Amino acid sequence: MATKKYTVTLPEELAEEIRQDVGSGGFSAYVTRAIERQRERDRLGELVARLEEEHGSVTDDELASAEAERREFERHFTERGAPAGQQHRKAS
């Protein structure tokens, strides 16, 4: 993928914390990953809004049911010795 240099303004303390953690050579890669994650979240938010507009908001009962199912998956994979979610991703 082609790259292009941009100038952005960041809070100095935040930028220095990141630079200390990843080193000067990893700073751009770190920022790129952060922006990619934010774009994914933005797109997911748009999808949720569109689905809620079409089907209505998720109810408390539906949220509780989904959370119970998530916990069951986590328990299942933890008992098998794999970190939660890792087995599911491999199977996909």
Dist CA 56 CA 67 (whole Å) = 19
The pLDDT assigned to 81 comes to 82
Sequence-distant (≥ 6) Cβ neighbours of residue 22 within 8 angstroms: 29, 30
Given a contact cutoff of 8 angstroms between Cβ atoms, the answer to whether 22 and 30 are in contact is yes
The pLDDT assigned to 92 comes to 41
Q: What pTM does this model have?
A: 0.65
| Dihedral over Cα of 33, 90, 47, 63: its sign | negative
The pLDDT assigned to 88 comes to 52
Given a contact cutoff of 8 angstroms between Cβ atoms, the answer to whether 58 and 49 are in contact is no
Q: For 39-79, write each residue's pLDDT tens digit.
A: 999 999 999 999 999 999 999 999 999 999 999 999 999 98
